[in-house]
Structure 1
Amino acid sequence: METFVAVVEAGNFTEAAQQLDISAVMVGKYVRELEERLGARLLERTTRRQRLTDAGRVFYEDAKRALEYMRIAETSVEQLRASPSGTLRISAPITFGACVIAPLAATFRQLYPLVRVELELSNRNVDLIDEGFDLAIRIGELGDADLVAKPLTMYRMVICASPGYLAQYGCPETPQDLSAHHCLSHTVWNSRSGWKLEDGDGPRLVTESVFTCNDGNGLRMAAIAGAGLLLQPEVLVAHDLASGTLVQVLKTYSPKPHPVHIVYRHDRRPLPKLTQFVAHLLEHVPKREAS
């Protein structure tokens, strides 16, 4: 197609061959193959001149537009590979995604304003290929062995309560003391038999709960208001613990932390929007040990 357009614009096979840096014989071969494929004659040639047939004139205009579209497409890909740009689709667990990934996605966009971020918060494991995600954040065991996985940090749960609540009901020292306390529980955990704490003899279930909610931040706000003891991710209550709004208790009995990974598809030439965002997360998410 490119050869045919060059022949039309150059006026003859020889000039087109020089422009394309191929032989005039090869130019003629390409034009003949094109005519055979289309089943129509495109050029009428004599020893002195050439002219387009009606079919050739129509094909020339469409071919020229098609080649221009192809050049635009190639330029777009080149721009994507030159610096981070385009849409970056991210899947992350609800709490970790809201507390950690969303703020870092915002600072990433400040660095690379040509990137458009689509962050989906969900506790389900999405299919990166079928659902079109560039990367996902996974907590715990990794299910997809064919994905690239980079360790990010550890996901910890903490038990805490407001100073006012602890002043009224006392500070629990062991899981056995929780029977005399008001425990706040997430609806999902409640359906799985309650809190799962680490005891000296192994995991211990705490089923007593006086307040349930299907949202971690809702439980956090209830705990700040003095409703009881809270078991939630450290990332959700970090600022409250630092400010003293909430106080951590039963530290040695908190559930075992789980590893957090960044996962994405194998690609020999990943786009800068992905590689730079992964680097951004690895640089700014605090590294935490398993214990």
Structure 2
Amino acid sequence: MDKLSSMAVFVKASDLGSFAATAKAMGMSPQMVAKHVVFLEDRLGTALLHRTTRRQSLTDVGRVFYDRCKQLLSDVEAAESVALDMRSQPKGVLRVNAPVTFGAFSLAPFVTRYLDRYPDMRIDLTLNDRFVDPLEEGFEVMVRIGEVEDSSLIALPLAPYRLIACASPDYLIRRGTPRIPLDLEQHDCLAYGDRPSSTPCRWQFTRSGKSEEVRISGRIRSNDWKALLHASIAGYGITLGPESVLNAEITAGRLVQVLPDHEGPSRPMHVIYPVGRRPTAKVRSFVEALIDEFGTDVPK
């Protein structure tokens, strides 16, 4: 008998809990299922399953062997998948996760351009700002802002996620233009976050290597930065948001950057995917396109 085939039968029998269920799932007789398991037990010289007329369970050796067999079969499947993918264009569904603001303003337009390039691809894009376990939740590619310390993930750097402060021309005419970060304490600032409005919000700026933190306040706070952007354009205060998005508003004349000689907060950004397997064509093409689009240090 073929060892890999017998391992596959053994794993399925362990998962389903009976030879009859395994036989039905794999299109063979219960007797053939038993022969595959006995073949492995004879090779190893030990029992892998405790079998009674009513139930079966793994022996101590069987549990260890089951884990190794499952990993081996997964690796074989991945190897075959990679070999097939290398001969074909990316196709299928790719599950992607990203932060809300970056995903809505920057990643979504990129996704449509990517789909134009690869007509056999479909993207399932989920946006949230919470921690996501890609293995547990089934995401194949993620974009994350901040440091990545999980050794089970491959993290490739993108351009840093920089924030700048902006306000509408109308607001600056009415309230004046702040010259130093401390001036922001006398302005209506639009706070991002889901904490109660009584919780202080602070913005940090850097100039000539020296950092300065200021406590800001205003009439509007939101956990969705898009709402703050609209409020700022409407003249309700100063917003601190992603440079890549606000540059377009500045160019259009809807907003003006304030404190341009001070650097706003900047955080590293990465595209990440699980380690352990060679990426398939769909993952590889999406990651490479992401790096081409967002991997330089020049905001787009």
2:217 maps to: 208
Query: Structure 1 residues 197-206 or 231-240, which shifts more?
Result: 197-206
Quote the Cα distance in structure 2 between the aligned partners of 1:172 and 1:178: 6
* Cα shift at 1:267: 4.2
User: Which residue does the alignment assign to 1:70?
Assistant: none
| Larger CA Rg, structure 1 vs 2 | 1
User: Residues 164-200 of structure 1, C-alpha deviation per residue, up to 9 Å, x if partnerless?
Assistant: 1111111100122123221111233757621322256
1:197 aligns with 2:204: yes
Determine the structure 2 residue equivalent to 1:162: 168
The offset of 1:252, in angstroms, is 3.6
Cross-structure match for 2:256: 247
Q: Does the CA-based 8 Å contact 1:217-1:236 persist in structure 2?
A: no
Q: Secondary structure at the match of 2:125?
A: strand
Between stretches 95-104 and 247-256, larger displacement belongs to 247-256
TM-score, normalised via structure 1 length: 0.69
Change (3 A) 1:210 1:34: closer
Q: 1:127 to 1:167 in 2, by over 3 A?
A: same
Describe the shift of the 1:170–1:113 C-alpha distance in structure 2 as closer, same or farther (beyond 3 A).
same
Please say if 1:234 is aligned against 2:232: no
Aligned partners of 2:89 and 2:285: how far apart in 1?
9
Q: Find the aligned partners of 1:282 and 1:220 in 2 and give their Cα distance.
A: 27
Tell me if 1:124 matches 2:130. yes
Q: Hey, what's the Cα distance between the residues in 2 that align with 1:101 and 1:139?
A: 13
Aligned in 2, Cα 1:267/1:115: closer, same or farther, shift over 3 Å? Answer: farther
1:53-202 alignment to 2 at 5 Å? Answer: 77=81, 80-81=85-86, 82-188=88-194, 193-198=200-205, 202=211
CA contact (8 A) 2:185 2:214 kept: no
C-alpha contact (below 8 Å) 1:197/1:253 kept by paired residues: no
In structure 2, stretches of 5+ residues that fail to align are 3-30, 37-76
Per-residue CA distance 1:125-154 (angstroms, 9 max, x = gap): 211111111111111111312211111111
Partners of 1:161 and 1:87 in 2: CA distance: 40
- The corresponding residue for 2:35 is 37
CA change 1:268–1:169 in 2 (3 A) is same
Q: CA separation of 1:181/1:280 partners in 2, compared to 1, >3 Å: closer, same or farther?
A: same
Paired letter, 1:228? G
CA contact (8 A) 2:165 2:264 kept: no
> How many residues were matched structurally?
225
Residue identity opposite 2:140 in structure 1? D
CA distance 1:142–1:261, shift in 2 (3 Å): same
CA contact 2:106–2:245 (8 Å) conserved in 1: no
- Give the whole-Å Cα distance in 1 for the aligned partners of 2:242 and 2:84: 40
**Following the alignment from structure 2 to structure 1, what is the Cα–Cα distance between the partners of residues 234 and 104?**
22
SS at match of 1:195: strand
3-state SS of 1:205 partner: strand
Counterpart code for 1:237 = L
Q: Which residue of 2 aligns with 1:274?
A: 283
Task: Verify the 8 A CA contact 1:84 1:115 in the aligned structure 2.
Answer: yes
- For residues 34 and 182 of structure 2, the distance between their equivalents in structure 1, rounded to whole angstroms, comes to 86
- Quick one: distance in 1 between partners of 2:148 and 2:273? 12
Q: Percent identity?
A: 34
Q: CA deviation at 1:235?
A: 2.8
Residues 210 and 93 from structure 1, CA distance in 2 versus in 1: closer, same or farther, beyond 3 angstroms?
same
SS in 2 for 1:244: coil
AA matched with 1:162:
S
